[in-house]
Structure 1
Amino acid sequence: MSFFVLLCHLTFFATLIAHEQPIMEVCGFKFTEGPLWVDELGWIFSDIPANTVYKIANHEVYLSPSGNSNGLALDKKGNILLAEHGNRRISRMYRNGNIEVVAERYQGKRFNSPNDLVVRSDGSIFFTDPPYGLPGGMNGPNAELNFCGIYEITPKGDVLLINKKLNKPNGIALSRDEEILFVADTEQNAIFKFLYKDKEYPMEEIKFCDVASPDGIKIDKQDNLWVTSSEGVVVFNKQGERIDIIKVPKHPANCAFGGKNGDEFLVTARDCVYLYRLKKEK
């Protein structure tokens, strides 16, 4: 490798965050996931084995039991949606604390183990359903489906199957114009995209980029895709080209943008969560 190429490779990293080191590190959990910024609460996240949703401040319990929640999201009205990894359903928690089941079956059969979710502006909920929370996985006694699906829950509550061809669909995100759905397949070491604008079901998967063991994913204001992976948090532009990587102290599982000024980036990583400051937009 030439010196010039090596120099380019080394200066390629960590340009989208203000500092390489996190501004906050909180540890002592079991396995953190589902980071979410909520204006009234601040940062919250799931701890799957602990069956708890925490607020980042002082390990404060926000919800327990949580159905072993994994991914979290906000609906159009600001209620919290939970991908209940253990209870095998998508649920909604209202501001008064009441919880309702949004969906738990496809064609009469229970989901595997809902993992992550994203919400469209019209209220549609998209989520992935790998078997990570099922004892014995797809071959276990509790499995009712014979595939790992990607689904849409319409505003009317209908459950539509988008695709069942990925091996282990995991993180999920929508492009800014909401015309492209991105899904991480951990087992295939790749991110796939689906052209939601065509609205043809099932949708064909199109490989977007390769990355080692991708998990949670998020889209930023510039339509860059941030991917938690065994490499760290790898950032891809709209063309699927790597433009950045954030090295995290531990293997990251998910990430989210937020903060009072929208300049924070929270990464969940094994028993810890790491908060980074984003660079100011020019």
Structure 2
Amino acid sequence: MERYELTQDRFKRYVLPNAELEKLAEGFRWTEGPVWFGDRDELLFSDLPNNRVMRWSESGGLSVFRRDSDFENGHTRDREGRLLSCSHRGRRIHRTELDGSITSLVERYQGRRLNSPNDIVVKSDGTIWFSDPHYGIQTDYEGGKQEPELPASVYRFDPRSGVLTVVADDFQGPNGLCFSPDERLLYIVETGLQFAKDPVQHIRVFDVQDDGRLTGGRVFCTISPGNADGIRCDEDGNLWSSAGDGVHCIDPGGELMGKILVPSTVANFTFGGRNRSRLFLCASHSVYAIFTNTRGASRP
């Protein structure tokens, strides 16, 4: 299988012809939520339907990080290096403290329970942004059927003040989130209604105001085959997106430059490893990795 597909010659500068696509682990039900811990040189990711979080490192191989994880999906780290997680079954955002204890941060909005938080990012000011679609409570496969109490939305949570704000509510199924390197833009994936015959699926981009409001919201691009799920920016402001055939690289103008081809559908991925230049890919029942010639965007 070819490793790359070039739509534009510019994509050549971001990939390495001598870097192979490596399968790191397999045998999972559905992998999601990868997050890199550079200080521990390890990757954490969710084996979502198996209700556990896994750990992988070059030196230690594969192990279980957390069993009975409350069906955690997306993960990220806060400004203090603590793990933040989206719980489907718990319908909340919680934080793993440095001593291993767990603190619930957000469970309700205006007295009603969240749906099933999906993806999560942290801005340089410490605010936590997350998507809250209905997916995780619509089936028993990823958390268990429960009744939604809120419309699907994207939220901003300030852990200092405890204030939770809706920043976008015109989505059918908000999913992956990603700030541009300068944090002036927020990309949000729309994956639509889960059981719709022809769901609305694209990536939108918003302008981030100084007070945390979002404006705009135009369609940035559409991913095919498959659809976008997890997204990340590199240091040049290119947007990388998961897809049915691998990972796509889109320039800041919304044009596809090329693809890294993967044998199975990629749900999510993250930059990590040495210099944040290695892509770790959660692809269906497996986890892959490949070195690139770019680095994931660092926070200001």
TM-score (norm 1): 0.89
Pair 1:168–1:15, CA change in 2 (3 A): farther
- Whole-angstrom distance in 2 between the partners of 1:126 and 1:92: 14
**TM-aligned CA distance change 1:14 to 1:110, over 3 Å:** farther
Give the Cα separation in 1 of the matches to 2:91 and 2:12: 37
Q: CA deviation at 1:141?
A: 5.2
Render the CA deviation track for 1:231-282: whole Å, top value 9, x for unaligned. Answer: 421111111111121111110000100113322110101110101111268x
Structure 1 vs Structure 2: percent identity of aligned residues? 34
* 1:207 maps onto 2:219 in alignment: yes
Residues 52 and 200 (structure 1), Cα distance of their counterparts in 2 relative to 1, 3 Å cut: closer
1:202/1:217 CA distance change after superposition, 3 Å: closer
Distance 1:50 1:22, change over 3 A: same
Report if aligned partners of 2:174, 2:190 keep a CA contact under 8 Å in 1. Answer: yes
- Is contact 1:216-1:255 (8 Å) kept? yes
Q: CA deviation at 1:198?
A: 5.6
Whole-angstrom distance in 2 between the partners of 1:151 and 1:221: 25
Q: Which residue of structure 2 aligns with residue 116 of structure 1?
A: 119
Structure 1 residue corresponding to 2:290, chosen from 266, 276, 280:
276
In structure 1, C-alpha distance between the alignment counterparts of 2:267 and 2:158, rounded to whole Å: 27
Task: Note if 1:18 corresponds to 2:16.
Answer: yes
Structure 1 residue 29: deviation in Å? 1.0
Cα RMSD, aligned residues only: 2.3
Q: Match of 1:96, SS? A: coil
Partner of 1:4: none
- Counterparts of 1:233-252 in structure 2 under 5 Å? 233-252=247-266
Q: 1:75 aligns with which of 74, 78, 90?
A: 78
* Paired residues of 1:234 and 1:245 also in contact (CA < 8 A): yes
1:150 aligns with 154
Q: Aligned partners of 2:51, 2:146: CA distance in 1, in Å?
A: 22
- Pairing of 1:131-210 with structure 2 (within 5 A): 131-135=134-138, 142-145=147-150, 147-155=151-159, 156-187=161-192, 188-197=200-209, 199=211, 201=213, 203-210=215-222
- Alpha-carbon distance in 2 for matches of 1:197, 1:10: 33
Preserved CA contact (<8 Å) 1:162 1:203? no
| Number of aligned positions between the proteins | 272
Answer with 56-65 or 155-164: which moved more.
Answer: 56-65
Letter in 1 for 2:201: N
SS of match in other structure, 1:161:
strand
Equivalent-residue separation in structure 2 for 1:249 and 1:193 (angstroms): 29
Residues 163, 204 of structure 1: 8 Å contact kept: no
Q: CA deviation at 1:229?
A: 1.6
Amino acid at match of 1:127: F
Residue 15 of structure 1, CA deviation: 5.6
Q: 1:280 to 1:74 in 2, by over 3 A?
A: closer
Alpha-carbon distance in 1 for matches of 2:239, 2:294:
18
Structure 1 position 122, deviation (Å): 0.8
Q: TM-score, normalised by structure 2?
A: 0.84
The alpha-carbon distance between structure 1 residues 101 and 8, as it changes in their structure 2 partners (threshold 3 A), is: closer
After superposition, the Cα gap between the structure-2 partners of 1:9 and 1:152, relative to the gap in structure 1 and judged at 3 Å, is closer
Deviations 1:31-80 (A, max 9, x none): 10011110225111111111111112433011122221111100000000
**Where do 5+ consecutive residues of structure 1 fail to align?**
1-6
**CA distance 1:141–1:28, change in 2 (3 Å):** closer
* Runs of at least 4 residues off by over 6 Å: 10-14
Instruction: Tell me, yes or no, if the aligned pair for 1:14 and 1:245 is still in contact at 8 Å.
Output: no
